[in-house]
Chain A
Amino acid sequence: MIPAAFDYVRPQTLEEAAMALAEAGEDAKVLAGGQSLLPLLRLRLSYPSSLVDVGRLSELHGVRDEGDHVFIGAATTHYDVVHSPVVQAECPLVAMATATVADPQVRHRGTFGGSLAHADPAGDLPAVAVALDCAFVARSASGGEREIPASEFFVDYLEPALRADEILVGVKVPKLGPGWGYHYEKFHRTAQSWAIVGVAAAVRRSNGSIEEARIGLTNMGPTPVRASAVEEALRGTPITVPVPGGGNGGPDPIRDACGEAAAGTSPPADLHAQPDYRRHLARVLTHRAVLSAARA
C-alpha cells in the first residue's frame, strides 16, 4: 500500500533535527533507515504527521572506542556494526545478534539505534542491550542530553522511554573485560523472520565454572527481559562436557539452572507460538546459549 501523506524534513545537524522534531509536535516520527517504520507506514498501521530524517547526520554515525565502553551512533547501519573491528573485538555479542537481524538488504539500510528505539520485543538487539546494561543517549531541543539505562529504556511494546521531542543519539555498550564468552541463540521458522524466542547470553568463566552470567530474552513479553533467576542459579555452576549421545538423562547442572528461564515472563500468543511453547523454548534456548557462551 501507499503510505498516508506526511511532511518530510531532512535537517543538516543534530541541533536542527532536535528543533525540527520539537516543532513538528507529538505526531512526528524520526526516520533513519526506515526498515521498521516504512513497513508500518505502508501497512497504514502508523500515521505520522511528519518525518524528521536523521539518517544522514554525521553525529549519529560510527562506532567509537571510549575506554570502558563502546559508543555506537544511533544511525550506524547494522551492516556497519557487524563489520566494525571495534564491535567485533569489544562487544562480540552485539556483532553476533546484529548479524542475525533480518536479511542483507535490511541490514544495509536499517540502523542500530532505530531498531532499539522501535522497541519491538521480537527484535534481536533489545535483549542484548538489557543483558549488557547498555546506556541510551538521548537529545532534545529543550532538555539537552540525558542517559537512559537499558533497564528503563523499554517501557512497553513498541514504546521506548524517549519523549516525543527526543532523538536517540547513540548507545554506550559497556566492555565486560576478559574471561567472558558470548552467544546469541535465535529460533525462527524461516531465514529472515522474527525470533519466536531469542536468547542473548554472556558468561564469565573461571576455573571451569560459571562465575557470572547475563541473559536477555527476546520476545518473551512486551519488553525484553533479563532471566535473573537463571543468572543467579548459574553462579558457581561447573561447566561440564556432556557425554556424546548421552541424551538428556545425565546430570547437567547448567541445564538445571536454565530451568527457570521463563520465570516472571509473559510471552505473547501469535501465529507462531502459544505462551507455553515460548516458555519451553526459553528454557531450551537459554541452555543452548549458555553452553555455547561458556565454551566460546
Chain B
Amino acid sequence: MPRITVTVDGIQYEEEVEPRLLLVHFLRDRLGKTGTPIGCDTTNCGACTVMLDGKSVKSCSVLAVQADGCDVLTIEGLAGADGQWHPMQTAFHEEHALQCGFCTPGMIMSAIDLLAENPDPSEEAIREGLEGNLCRCTGYCNIVRAVRRGAQAMSGQSAAANQEVPAS
C-alpha cells in the first residue's frame, strides 16, 4: 500500500493508505477529524471543503494519495491555539448563518478561500465565490451577511459590518 505524508491542521501524519481511499474518509476515519462532513458524495454540495495547499477543494473528490506531501487545513484547524475562533467562525455565529449546520464547515472554508483572493467582496462576488457550496436551510442571506462581516473583521474593521447587505 502507498505510504503518504500529509500535514493536517499543523500536524504531520505518515500513513499507509489504500489508493481508493478518499481524502475525506482519511480525515474522518483515520484521523478522527469529523468536523469535515460528507454531504452529497457527488462533488456537488461542498460540505467537505478543505484547503489543500492553501486552495479550497472538495475532499470527497481527492484521493488521499493525491494529497501526499501536501498541507491540509480543515475546519478543526481554524481556531487559534487558545481556542479563539477564526473571525469567519465568529461572523457565522453572530449573523446566525446556519440552521442545521451541515454545510457550515464547507461554507466557512470556501469563504476564507474567497477572501484570500478578494478581501473585500461584493454581495455578487460572495454568491459567486460560494457557488460550490449548497445550503438547504438558510436561503443564503445570512451566510452572505456573515461573509461580509468576516471580511471586515479580517481586514481589521471589526465595527458592525452588517449594513452592506440589507436584511431581507
Interface residues of A (CB under 8 A from B): 1-8, 10, 31, 34-35, 38-39, 41-43, 51, 53, 55, 79, 102-106, 108-109, 191-192
Contacts and interface: CB of A to CB of B under 8 A. Distances in A.
Counting chain B CB atoms within 10 Å of each CB, the highest count among A2, A8, A43 belongs to A8
Interface in B46-75: 46, 49, 52, 55-58, 60-63, 65-66, 68
Given A2-B20, A34-B62, A55-B66, A105 B57 contact: yes
14 contacts: A2-B22, A3-B20, A6-B19, A10-B68, A38-B22, A39-B42, A42-B22, A43-B42, A103-B131, A104-B110, A104-B114, A106-B43, A106-B61, A108-B57
Nearest to B50: A105
Given A38-B63, A55-B66, A103 B57 contact: no
Given A105-B58, A108-B57, A109-B58, 16 more contacts: A3-B20, A5-B19, A7-B19, A8-B2, A34-B62, A34-B63, A35-B43, A38-B22, A38-B61, A43-B42, A102-B132, A104-B114, A104-B132, A105-B49, A108-B52, A108-B55
A18 B152 CA distance: 50
Contacts of B68: 10
Contacts of B44: 192
B114 A8 contact: no
A105 B42 contact: no
Contacts of A102: 132
A3 B132 CA distance: 23
Given A34-B61, A42-B42, A104 B131 contact: yes
Contacts of B2: 8
A255 to B, nearest CB: 29
B66 A53 contact: yes
Contacts of B41: 1, 42
Contacts of A79: 55
Interface in B76-118: 110, 113-114
B62 A38 contact: yes
Nearest to B65: A8
